[in-house]
Amino acid sequence: MLFALALLQVAPEIVVVAPPKATPQTPATIVVEPAAMFAAACDADADALVTRAELSACVARSFAGTDTAASGGASGSIGYLGYSDWALRWLGDRTALPAPYDVDRDGDNRITLVELQGQFARLFSRWDVNRDGALSRAELLTFKTRPIDANGPTTPVRPGGKPGGKPK
């Protein structure tokens, strides 16, 4: 019994330390939109630039791989589920943007090659910052500047300087 008491006196105190408070991430986080990653892969001549023609041809090749006949509609078009299969294969996720509602310009719940090429033509115009007709890798990057802590993005500051969601 004396030995047990001696062991209790010698045992070091156990101190539980919480992890340090998360600090904001570096102000500029570089990300690539799934559609921009697809566009970068469309560089047919390996010159590190993607032209409108390269992007349009690449979209056509990717669309040709869809099963338009089995998608339940007119030949040459896919439904929204078919589009989600296309997005999974070519953009990496079924819910990646552009959303089928943005691509389906005539609202018939079908997506044609012309509509998909039109959506990527609009994206091309947005990405081509220097308006030289070719997309560089730098133009395809997106910079996020909101700080992120251990729990994810921090909430925006409301008018009046109070943190939180929407103002009352």
Share of the chain above pLDDT 90, in %: 58
Cβ atoms of 137 and 126 closer than 8 Å: no
Per-residue pLDDT of 102-152, as tens digits, reads 999 999 999 999 999 999 999 999 999 999 999 999 999 988 766 555 565
Q: Is residue 158 over pLDDT 70? A: no
Q: Is residue 166 over pLDDT 60? A: no
Q: How far is CA 101 from CA 28, 46, 98, 104, 109, in A?
A: 31, 32, 8, 5, 8
Q: Is residue 7 over pLDDT 90? A: no
**pLDDT for the residue 106:** 94
Q: What is the pTM of this model?
A: 0.68
Tokens of 17: 């330390």
DSSP helix/strand/coil, 150: coil
Nearest in space to 153 (alpha carbons), one of 162, 143, 161, 144: 144
Cβ atoms of 75 and 68 closer than 8 Å: yes
Per-residue pLDDT of 71-112, as tens digits, reads 555 568 999 999 999 999 999 999 999 999 999 999 999 999
